[in-house]
Structure 1
Amino acid sequence: MSGKNIRLARLFGNDGRALIVALDHGRRHGPIPGIKNLGKTLKEIVKAEVDGIMMTPAMISRYWDIVKDIFLIARIDGTGTVKSLDETDDRLIASVLFAVKKGADAVSVMVYPGSINEQFLWEKLSIVVEEAENIGIPVLAEVVPKPPVFENKFDPYAIAYGSRIAAEIGADIIKTLYTENFGEIVESTPVPIVILGGEKTSSPTDILEIVEKAVKEGAAGAAIGRNIFQHENPLGMARALMAIIHEGLKASEAAESFL
């Protein structure tokens, strides 16, 4: 078994599923609610014994004493911020080796199919995949369709298109949106898919229901950020999601038990 496969087995465990808590938003949004005091949030999240946490390499290093027992995914791109002229012009901010030296078990990059930068983003992914393969590190590709080609980011074709190309280039995990015909997208993507949470939902149970449906249709779990760290009870939300993903609880049961 290769080093990469050993690391993937650590993340997905015996049931092949994982909850990743995305806490890399600071590199794109700055100090938004829920992560203004990242250390405080992390201390709550780790109590839920989540499967993975995603942060930038610098934050992994800074908060190593809190997160050292969790599988750590380093976001290694981030030049496209919410205030930049083009958010899809998202270039590397670190190498795979730099991230590993900071403590990462895997790395992650963004890809925006349909954007004016699509071809450069696929090239970025291919460069990261090759470097990561040489040192046994898994790569997660976050696939989010964008205009001008895809006006609707939930377009099933757009998500299937982007997920398959990311897998063809060598991504080991795909993080993308849940949409209709999701089972068909899973079937056409030969690597695990975890669904992203996106903006905080209007009702706390909404994200629980989405994750429940996604797992039933073949998702390997979820990578959730704002719907955990901006919830009034981040620990409870993380535990609820863990119960849905690993224990098969219904969304209503998880909400009643943990929220």
Structure 2
Amino acid sequence: MSGVSMRMGQLFDRESGRAFVVAFDHGQALPIPEGLGNPVDLLERIIAGGPEGILLTAGMLSQSQHLFSHRQAPAAIVRADWTTLDKRMQSELGEQYRSLITPGEALALGASALCTYIIGWPAEGRMFAENIENVARTVHQAHAVGLPVIVEATLWGSRMSDKKDHQLLRQMCRIAAELGADALKTEFVGDEEAERVMIEEAGNIPVLTLGGAAASPEEVAAAARGAIASGAKGLIFGRNAWQVPDMEGAMRELSRIVHG
């Protein structure tokens, strides 16, 4: 067993074999909602909800290392790259993608894993090619230092109107698997059988589904249940876990769905 497989295994609950991860990397690429206050204070409340992992940026991990420095702390998954998810910025600057941190730098910060995008169908083929090259390089460098890589396979490019097209999304997931991803973060496409096929075709790596845009508690719970029923090994939910009136209740419910 390698450091990669040990760290990847530590993310998942020993009994259920699944993981509930909270995404907290939004401030780097999306507009900041009013009234959130100090992000480290909010992160402390999120961690109190008991998720198996937190997806966050290098800067937030640097500011909040005291929250990850004890035996029951969640795994710190560092966002390794950036893209123009903010539509205001994208309309002025176009689609952009950059790698921000090396695996060695993330390991020095205390990361348990990295997360990096594959963005399907951007306007320019060059951006997609550079994105693929960067994912491949990140995987090789991360494995050399014992870090697992979660690849976020999406259809967020500007050529796409249907971000959950399962035929195209299964191709993105397969590309990520072929590049050596240790786990996938991707959409729940709304159809359990289509999702099951997509997960199966990724091979023997865990697939976790993302939460996406804000939705009602009923819609969020239904998507979470559908993902787990399809064979997903967990959830990586952000706004629908902590940007809600009853954060503690939402996290409790999502964790219950994941672990059954």
How high is the TM-score relative to the length of structure 2?
Answer: 0.89
- List runs of 5+ in structure 2 lacking aligned partners: none
1:175·1:195 contact (CA, 8 Å) conserved in 2?
Answer: yes
The verdict on how the C-alpha distance between 1:113 and 1:11 changes in structure 2, with shifts beyond 3 A counting, is same
1:199·1:226 contact (CA, 8 Å) conserved in 2?
Answer: yes
1:194·1:219 contact (CA, 8 Å) conserved in 2?
Answer: yes
Q: How many pairs does the alignment contain?
A: 246
The verdict on how the C-alpha distance between 1:19 and 1:157 changes in structure 2, with shifts beyond 3 A counting, is same
Aligned pairs for 1:77-116 (under 5 A) are: 77-82=81-86, 83-84=89-90, 85=92, 88-115=95-122, 116=124
* Map of 2:174 onto structure 1: 164
* Map of 1:6 onto structure 2: 6
1:24·1:75 contact (CA, 8 Å) conserved in 2?
Answer: yes
* Map of 2:49 onto structure 1: 48
How high is the TM-score relative to the length of structure 1?
Answer: 0.90
* Map of 1:256 onto structure 2: none
Aligned pairs for 1:236-255 (under 5 A) are: 236-246=249-259, 248=260
Check if 1:134 corresponds to 2:144. yes
Query: How many angstroms apart in 2 are the aligned matches of 1:184 and 1:210?
Result: 17
* Map of 1:152 onto structure 2: 162
- Offset, 1:102: 1.2
Q: Deviations over 1:145-193 (max 9, x none)?
A: 1446543111011110000100100111111111121111011011211
- List runs of 5+ in structure 1 lacking aligned partners: 249-259
Moved over 6 A (4+): none
Secondary structure in structure 2 of the residue aligned to 1:109: strand
Query: How many angstroms apart in 1 are the aligned matches of 2:27 and 2:183?
Result: 22
Check if 1:71 corresponds to 2:75. yes
The verdict on how the C-alpha distance between 1:102 and 1:30 changes in structure 2, with shifts beyond 3 A counting, is farther
2:40·2:60 contact (CA, 8 Å) conserved in 1?
Answer: no
2:40·2:63 contact (CA, 8 Å) conserved in 1?
Answer: no
Percent identity, aligned pairs only?
29
Query: How many angstroms apart in 1 are the aligned matches of 2:199 and 2:102?
Result: 29
Among 202, 209, 227, which residue is 1:195 paired with?
209
Q: Deviations over 1:33-54 (max 9, x none)?
A: 4754212211211122100001
Secondary structure in structure 2 of the residue aligned to 1:54: strand
Letter in 2 for 1:169: L
Letter in 2 for 1:138: P
Letter in 2 for 1:226: R
* Map of 1:173 onto structure 2: 183
2:183·2:207 contact (CA, 8 Å) conserved in 1?
Answer: yes
The answer to which of 78-87 and 47-56 deviates more is 78-87
Secondary structure in structure 2 of the residue aligned to 1:110: strand
Query: How many angstroms apart in 1 are the aligned matches of 2:107 and 2:95?
Result: 25
Letter in 2 for 1:80: T
Query: How many angstroms apart in 2 are the aligned matches of 1:33 and 1:11?
Result: 32
Secondary structure in structure 2 of the residue aligned to 1:53: strand
- Offset, 1:31: 3.0
Query: How many angstroms apart in 2 are the aligned matches of 1:36 and 1:48?
Result: 18
